Structures are given as C-alpha cells and as structure tokens.
Amino acid sequence: MSGMLSAAVTLTLPRIVNVSVTDDTLSVELEDGRTIAVPIAWYPRLAYGMPEERAHFQISGAGYGIHWPDLDEDIGVEGLVLGKKSTESLESFERWLHQRKQRA
C-alpha cells in the first residue's frame, strides 16, 4: 500500500443544559448525560468572582457556551470537553483585576 491514510474525525459537541460553580469547581451538565467538572482555578476570573457573580451566567451560543456578564468571562463547551484551561494572559488578567478594584 502506498501513500498515507487519512481520517477525518468530526467532534459533535453536546449542548450545555446546566451550570454550577462552587468555590472550588465549575460543573457543567451536558445534554448527553455527562457532567464535566473542572477546577475553578482554571478560570481566574471565576476564581476571583463573588458567589453572586458566579451564579449570574447565561448559557449562550445556542447552548455551546457560558457567559458571565459580571466577570466578562466566556467558556465554551469545546474547551471543557478537551480539558483546556483559560488562555487569558497574565497581563490581561491583571488589567481586569485592577479595573475591578477601581470599581469597588
């Protein structure tokens, strides 16, 4: 056999049906019955948010994302399924913290 074999894998993402955030964990229930739980430390804005800010979220993007308007944080189901942590730079996060302290 000559040449290379190729296979395309298509990832079908489930929609988010419920979200809960504790001081330690972000848990996301998916429409296929799975629950994905990740450390809240993966997402520094959530980790620094107050419980009431964490509780104020919207399932967005037709069910494929979560948006926290009070924290300006967005997390997609694809990143959760793949186990990806926040990619926000330290400089961006520090600017956000500084602006947050100024508003308080």
Kindly state whether residue 7 falls inside one of the protein's structural domains.
no
Q: Please report, for the domain that includes residue 35, its CATH number.
A: 3.30.2020.40
* Structural domain boundaries enclosing 43: 16-103
Q: Is residue 3 part of a domain?
A: no
Q: Is residue 38 part of a domain?
A: yes
Residue carrying structure tokens 């520090």: 94
pLDDT at 1 over 60: no
Q: How many structural domains compose the chain? A: 1
Q: Considering the domain boundaries, does residue 51 fall inside one?
A: yes
Which residue would you say has higher pLDDT here, 82 or 6? 82
For the stretch 8-55, pLDDT in tens is: 777 789 999 999 999 999 999 999 999 999 999 999 999 999 999 999
Residue 9 located in a structural domain = no
- Provide mean pLDDT across the span 75-93: 94
Per the domain annotation, does 5 fall within a domain? Answer: no
Q: If 0-12 CB within 10 Å is exposed, 13-18 middle and 19+ buried, where does residue 63 land?
A: middle
Q: Which of 28, 38, 34, 18 is nearest to 83 (CA)?
A: 38
What is the chain's mean pLDDT, rounded?
92
